[in-house]
Structure 1
């Protein structure tokens, strides 16, 4: 197939707009009738035809201003309906039929376990009816849903319900009206039989908002936490940004078949059930945190995404980067823990840096797109959030709030660009961000190198900075960008030193590196200090400074910034992992091991942070530190490190593990931290003494009343292939086999089981009745568990791991191309590995590329991967 790229530079305003649409949707599993009435206006003086988007639609009738349109006046293709010879203002009536039951792509209108559901972002509305399916066309929607009320007691859409009536044929019609103009990607419809949790929220102006949360029958006991998170989100947005909810009702529906995490449709959010359903017996602490974060994210979109939306899809980070930043800040405020920031950074380093260095590298505002679904990426979302965070750092909290206020004042009800957002920040603060905008235009991870010099006579300490960004797949030449570096200096005892310099530092000791090279001099420094150069991960960069082991140990044990402490220990451990992998050294120095022991015994370190400090670098994080890697040498080096460190930590971790056991479950931050540290300790115990760990895992699983601890036991048993593994996995399956959401955890563990039996086991698991390739959650859990976490066997010497993934991708290509495109990512990194892995991975990509009916989603990713 040949797919044409769309370019940001080609953007043109629409020839026509639609300011009002009336929809009537008559529900039928295989033959849903959609009647739309569009009020259309020509924009400007031209005679171009009206071209509407539409896919997989059966056109039944077409009228303009009440008159049937003759066949010679319109033309259909697989993706458009073109109507010629029309006036400047017209009413277009269109009737189409669609087949939701056959829609396995889960875009447009589809069936999810007997319930009708929609997903319209980015370009799914065109699978419901013919329309101008672009985000800069904003219309007021009135939606009438007609169906069997006994089969579908709840028929929901955007806005407020304004009518409900029984029709002569026994069906029921429910009408919804959204008073706010919106792009069609924010349209939503859900119809089904659910359990309903209701609550209310009183806004800061005294308005009562009805909150409704719809879940599958029997799951009402798992909805309370999501509802509480929603109310917390609404209160937080009022407190921090002064933003109040604007409708009388806010609805959330949880469905099991969903490609994304959730969707912020105006007034009717549709959620993957993974991010709604939770109680202590079925969900882990990580699940609860994810629910709070995603509930917040989708609610925050009401202003940053819905009230102000994107002009075009190249501007996606305008809403997603900003809203990820907002949900990160919300989560930080809810937990008050440094580990939130560490976890955010881990995503950037493990996944976004890889994207920047790979075939799909793109700026947070891409320049070229073939399939828009492929650009819902960690770059657009998470690096986009880091770019927003840098603006917050440079302007300060008050300055950033001023910019946000001006942004809404200027652009409420509009579809705008990233440039409009930056302009609001500039104008509200009289701050020039023109150079900073390089972050929006340039792909790649900037690399900042720092050298230093201490002059004892003058007691000055000099830092010399240089920056460069390597060429990426989409751009060869790079410019210096604006890098805010939050700095600190520490003496040999770890005490913080004052930063006395003639150079400008903003609040929080932030220094701006703007040019290719620069120098910063500190005065009154009594001895050679240890610098902290990227506190709080103040910029999404790779930083290089020749730290000694002693300096890294000082930072890891004494720095006042949690991220820097974690980063120092990660850097130190990675140094020796690579040394062993390269064959340069055979063992870790005793002082490094002693540093880990000291951390484990330090009672002044928060339990959550201590848990992170005791964890080795992840494989994904390490993969982004080298260009070509012998994966099995790296895995062997990690195993060697574990074996050398574990005996020293064994006694302390055993004592800690015993002390951390809790008699009563609680979801407060302190209890969550204890469970996290307990899991880290149990992992080190398993490395040191498998027999002891086997007993502890069995006991923990049997005695726990919560999923977090049971899954911790199961995860350790699975990772170390302990004797109790098989029986615990069987017990878990028997207990939860009818609960798909919980079984996703079991599927994920089966995928990452590091055993010679893993391929036979995968076949057995795939045959289980609860595993459905058509369900995105099931597919992701097993396939990503293997391809993204089972490094030893995914990278098997004979290439069998790659072939297994390739076959799953080929199957998904015809079922759900969007999910196939997301799961193929491990193969696209083929150039990162040495032979034979690189050769085998490339061969699998070539095999997929030859598929007769290769989707646009896969064609773009595989094609770029092979060309790179």
Structure 2
């Protein structure tokens, strides 16, 4: 067997041949499946004499025809990975026909066309199409497809593929067929086929231009009752993409298939999204609020790919973040608009810090756009997806909502039905706004998490406040030295009463910029630089990297008093949460040290007051309050220790919880009382937020192990109308021994 070779971004070359149209025909069988393809081929350079090299894996070649002429074995070369056609017609275009035989029931890789649980199903991203037929299996080959599927009508009553259903009917021998046509060009990784015994939930969506789209969610019949939330999520995503980005669905039909044997989680095939069942099925008895929210987000994500990934795709797989980073950003924004923006931001940043920061600091560190790969499937990573989304978010931070929308509009105007690069997206954002992004492209090419140090100083006489920044990106495998990158820092300054100061001007590099707002964006582009604010009448407390404006580690000179102040007053809710978490980690680490030295444990009353002020702030979203009063996990604390001590950390966290519960008991009881409900489950933000706050308060109270509070939790368990409340009450009870 050939050893796989390393592929490099720098070696990319355009294909010698493009495919204009692809007509596929599948005769599905129990022992074997016959695949016929008819491809209109056009040379990139007219009169080219280059060989056409087609990828193929685990295929049995039956026949090859060029312009209707059957090729003999000496007319082509065939090995375990390729079919090479050395001499081709010199015309402007020609027709290539290939028949292959494949064995889906033996395909245990679940790549290409496979059979599982009685259904035929496909997964073609990244390089699965080569297991279906011989083809140039690369994303810059975009063609218009038709697909005819034929199968036994009793065993496979449902036959699905991409695009619109053109015709269907019965054939001989108890078989039937369906003919599908996708009028938009697509790469082969977006091809899909499903055949089996499935039932559908049907609905419609009317686009803003008045076109009625038929929506169908297909599952095994017994799962159909659990698809209502998935349909709600799909319609919400379609409406949101129209409202926020002006992007309308472009076909008459949109299908989702949910099957238990799908190993990619979810896949955005054009008009035929395929999901693992766990990301589609939900009912109040079997799914929590977190499950419902995850389904909303992932159905949104795959739908949003219709434009960011399908209509405009990647030139090569190194550009994967072009579609995935952008689409993760879009699904994050969608979930933010459907719920609490701050809570969603906290969740996304937490995920980045827990999973992506360690990847950036470890042996698998790689840039958002990798320089090389051996197997592409290994690059579907938190760096490409989540850090990639942060890179997209920085464009929006720098340009604002309207500027970002202008950039998106230009991106689609320039590149619809094209396969493009990260530079093309960058150029659209820059050109639409006449913006200067300096060294922003470093985010795509450099691995590692930048460390930004911030030092502040106040000059009372000059009434100026200075922020000095230094940035450093640690060495990573293959990249020992790094260049400074472009870091947007969203900043606000708080006065002694906790109000945002209206900023008038900031000086940097000898130039003064006028401002008239309570928040501004500092553009840090060098290794070291200083920004000086004028007309600051008292020493302020700075609120830095508001909304987590860049994916960096931050080291500041903020004191504990500053952090308590920000926890109580910061208008930026993310930074309010962040201040509480930094304080909690510092406080818990100190207590761990006390515990290890057998010193008595005591909780700083300022910390109790800080969380108490959050609890009593009626202007705050309830889900945010629940997040803000949740302590860092034991794992987070152990990560900060030179030598982890699980027993000490567990004891300290338990102590802090009990102390907070004891001192805030009256407030917590009131929260449980005011936020309980025995009404039927509804998934919407007010109800989710209410449940989150009530259940967080209940967990605190139950930690006190007092009989009446255990009884309270038991009552919540017995009266719960949904899994979220039931599971939360059970978890609260589980804290109590015996």
Q: TM-score, normalised by structure 1?
A: 0.79
Tell me whether 1:640 sits opposite 2:642 in the alignment.
no
Q: Which residue of 2 aligns with 1:160?
A: 164
SS at match of 1:172: strand
C-alpha distance after superposition, 1:560-585 (max 9, x if no partner): 11111111111111123333456698
Answer with 303-312 or 569-578: which moved more.
569-578
1:271 to 1:456, Cα distance in 2 relative to 1, 3 A: same
- In the TM superposition, what is the alpha-carbon distance from 1:157 to its structure 2 partner? 0.2
C-alpha distance after superposition, 1:251-309 (max 9, x if no partner): 11111122223111111111222222222222211111112111211111111111111
SS at match of 2:498: coil
- In the TM superposition, what is the alpha-carbon distance from 1:623 to its structure 2 partner? 6.6
Q: Distance in 1 between matches of 2:375 and 2:589?
A: 38
Q: Which runs of structure 2 are paired with 1:179-258 in the superposition (5 Å)?
A: 179-258=183-262
Answer 1 or 2: which has greater strand percent.
2
Q: Does the 8 Å contact 1:501/1:522 carry over to 2? A: yes
Q: Does the 8 Å contact 2:699/2:729 carry over to 1? A: no
Residue of structure 2 aligned with 1:567, choices 556, 574, 578: 578
Q: Which residue of 1 aligns with 2:70?
A: 68
Q: Distance in 2 between matches of 1:624 and 1:379?
A: 20
Answer 1 or 2: which has greater helix percent.
1
Q: Does the 8 Å contact 1:354/1:624 carry over to 2? A: no
C-alpha distance after superposition, 1:444-489 (max 9, x if no partner): 1111101111222222221111111111123111111111111111
1:6 to 1:560, Cα distance in 2 relative to 1, 3 A: same
Q: Which residue of 2 aligns with 1:708?
A: 724
Q: Distance in 1 between matches of 2:336 and 2:434?
A: 29
SS at match of 1:360: coil
Q: Distance in 2 between matches of 1:417 and 1:608?
A: 39
Q: Which residue of 1 aligns with 2:688?
A: 672
Q: Distance in 1 between matches of 2:707 and 2:68?
A: 80
Q: Does the 8 Å contact 1:100/1:109 carry over to 2? A: yes
Give the count of matched residue pairs: 719
- In the TM superposition, what is the alpha-carbon distance from 1:536 to its structure 2 partner? 0.6
Q: Which residue of 1 aligns with 2:37?
A: 36
Residue of structure 1 aligned with 2:604, choices 562, 584, 589: 589
Q: Distance in 1 between matches of 2:352 and 2:208?
A: 36
Q: Which runs of structure 2 are paired with 1:788-799 in the superposition (5 Å)?
A: none
1:237 to 1:175, Cα distance in 2 relative to 1, 3 A: same
Answer with 69-78 or 168-177: which moved more.
69-78
- In the TM superposition, what is the alpha-carbon distance from 1:214 to its structure 2 partner? 1.2
Q: Which residue of 2 aligns with 1:419?
A: 423
Q: Which residue of 1 aligns with 2:86?
A: 84
1:621 to 1:37, Cα distance in 2 relative to 1, 3 A: farther
Tell me whether 1:342 sits opposite 2:362 in the alignment.
no
Q: Distance in 2 between matches of 1:198 and 1:293?
A: 21
Q: Which residue of 2 aligns with 1:410?
A: 414
C-alpha distance after superposition, 1:815-850 (max 9, x if no partner): xxxxxxxxxxxxxxxxxxxxxxxxxxxxxxxxxxxx
Tell me whether 1:630 sits opposite 2:646 in the alignment.
no
C-alpha distance after superposition, 1:625-649 (max 9, x if no partner): 57xx433x15632531331342332
Q: Which runs of structure 2 are paired with 1:17-36 in the superposition (5 Å)?
A: 17-36=18-37
Residue of structure 2 aligned with 1:54, choices 56, 80, 84: 56
C-alpha distance after superposition, 1:684-728 (max 9, x if no partner): 23433286676555443332121211222344456x4855xxxxx
SS at match of 1:362: coil
Q: Which residue of 1 aligns with 2:530?
A: 519
1:637 to 1:338, Cα distance in 2 relative to 1, 3 A: same
Q: Which residue of 1 aligns with 2:549?
A: 538
SS at match of 2:390: helix
Tell me whether 1:557 sits opposite 2:568 in the alignment.
yes
Q: Does the 8 Å contact 2:592/2:652 carry over to 1? A: no
Answer with 58-67 or 205-214: which moved more.
58-67
Q: Which runs of structure 2 are paired with 1:701-850 in the superposition (5 Å)?
A: 701-716=717-732, 720=735, 723=738
- In the TM superposition, what is the alpha-carbon distance from 1:319 to its structure 2 partner? 0.8
Q: TM-score, normalised by structure 2?
A: 0.93
Residue of structure 2 aligned with 1:113, choices 101, 117, 125: 117
SS at match of 2:505: coil
Answer with 495-504 or 379-388: which moved more.
495-504
SS at match of 1:653: helix
Q: Distance in 1 between matches of 2:16 and 2:689?
A: 56
Q: Does the 8 Å contact 1:40/1:92 carry over to 2? A: yes
Q: Distance in 2 between matches of 1:61 and 1:117?
A: 25
Q: Distance in 1 between matches of 2:631 and 2:31?
A: 52
Q: Does the 8 Å contact 1:26/1:34 carry over to 2? A: yes
Q: Distance in 2 between matches of 1:656 and 1:551?
A: 28
SS at match of 1:702: helix
Residue of structure 2 aligned with 1:609, choices 603, 624, 628: 624
**Gapped regions of structure 2 (runs ≥ 5):** 508-512
- In the TM superposition, what is the alpha-carbon distance from 1:613 to its structure 2 partner? 0.9
Q: Which residue of 2 aligns with 1:787?
A: none
Q: Distance in 2 between matches of 1:685 and 1:423?
A: 54
Q: Does the 8 Å contact 1:443/1:474 carry over to 2? A: no
1:7 to 1:452, Cα distance in 2 relative to 1, 3 A: same
Q: Which residue of 1 aligns with 2:510?
A: none
- In the TM superposition, what is the alpha-carbon distance from 1:365 to its structure 2 partner? 0.9
1:65 to 1:697, Cα distance in 2 relative to 1, 3 A: farther
Q: Which runs of structure 2 are paired with 1:352-391 in the superposition (5 Å)?
A: 352-391=356-395
Q: Which runs of structure 2 are paired with 1:10-21 in the superposition (5 Å)?
A: 10-21=11-22
Q: Distance in 2 between matches of 1:451 and 1:281?
A: 52
Q: Does the 8 Å contact 2:58/2:80 carry over to 1? A: yes
Residue of structure 2 aligned with 1:170, choices 170, 174, 184: 174
1:722 to 1:128, Cα distance in 2 relative to 1, 3 A: farther
SS at match of 2:703: helix
- In the TM superposition, what is the alpha-carbon distance from 1:433 to its structure 2 partner? 2.2
Residue of structure 2 aligned with 1:446, choices 428, 450, 453: 450
Q: Distance in 2 between matches of 1:391 and 1:367?
A: 23
Residue of structure 2 aligned with 1:323, choices 295, 320, 327: 327
1:634 to 1:522, Cα distance in 2 relative to 1, 3 A: farther
Q: Distance in 2 between matches of 1:139 and 1:635?
A: 60
C-alpha distance after superposition, 1:649-705 (max 9, x if no partner): 242434433432212133231221121122322332343328667655544333212
Please tell me the root mean square deviation across aligned C-alpha atoms, in Å.
2.3
1:624 to 1:362, Cα distance in 2 relative to 1, 3 A: farther
Q: Distance in 2 between matches of 1:355 and 1:546?
A: 27
C-alpha distance after superposition, 1:338-359 (max 9, x if no partner): 2111111111111111111112
- In the TM superposition, what is the alpha-carbon distance from 1:30 to its structure 2 partner? 3.8
Q: Does the 8 Å contact 1:459/1:525 carry over to 2? A: yes
Tell me whether 1:689 sits opposite 2:671 in the alignment.
no
